[in-house]
Amino acid sequence: MDVKGIIYLIRHTKTVAEEGICYGRLDLTTAGCFDEQASIIRRKMEGVPVGKIYSSPLRRCKQLAHTIGKKVICDNRIAEMDFGDWEGLSWNEIFLREDGKRWFADYLNVRCPGGESFRDLCKRVKLFAEEIPLDAKSTVIVTHSGVIRSFLAAMDILPEEEIFTVDIAYGQIVKIENREFELI
């Protein structure tokens, strides 16, 4: 896929979810440290000529996107992976289940019960990425770690098998330019 312009993919800030809980489509609120984390992100983005701002429709992303700019375009294709029946369960519990073992053995192709596989996520993210009108200004996308990883795969920047080698922390900014990425 040909990439023109500069894209900034920004992961939402920390949520109220307990550590080790599976959440993708759960519409969680941000943690109490939101203002501090959002301020750090805005400082890192100072001086960047921002064109369009896209956001996942989930609150944890929209809240951050609106601190970057007033006009935000929400798109369901950049919502986090749908973990279906596993939403809200602990990853430890999921790992012990038979369907969990099948998924962990082949998360690229196996769908979560009532949800998606990672390849499903990559397909919808690629459809979104192909429609982004890129120009002289940077495109900002506030989304989730799974979607950011999917972008890297969909844009042929990293093979699907390697995307989990990149740590995408809360509030992480991933700059994509000339088919290369940089964590800032």
Which domains, ranges and CATH numbers included, belong to the chain? 6-183 (3.40.50.1240)
Report whether pLDDT(1) > 60: no
Closest CA to 3 of 116, 126, 171: 126
Question: Helices marked H in 24-117 — which ranges?
Answer: 34-45, 59-68, 91-96, 98-105
Give the Cα separation of 125 and 109 in Å (integer). 16
Q: Strands 173-177 and 180-183, how do they pair? A: antiparallel
- Summarize pLDDT for 73-118 with one digit per residue, the tens: 999 999 999 999 999 999 999 999 999 999 999 999 999 999 999 9
- In the prediction, which pLDDT does 152 show? 94
What digits encode the pLDDT tens for the residues 139-181? 999 999 999 999 999 888 998 888 889 999 999 999 999 888 9
Unique residue bearing structure tokens 């919808």: 124
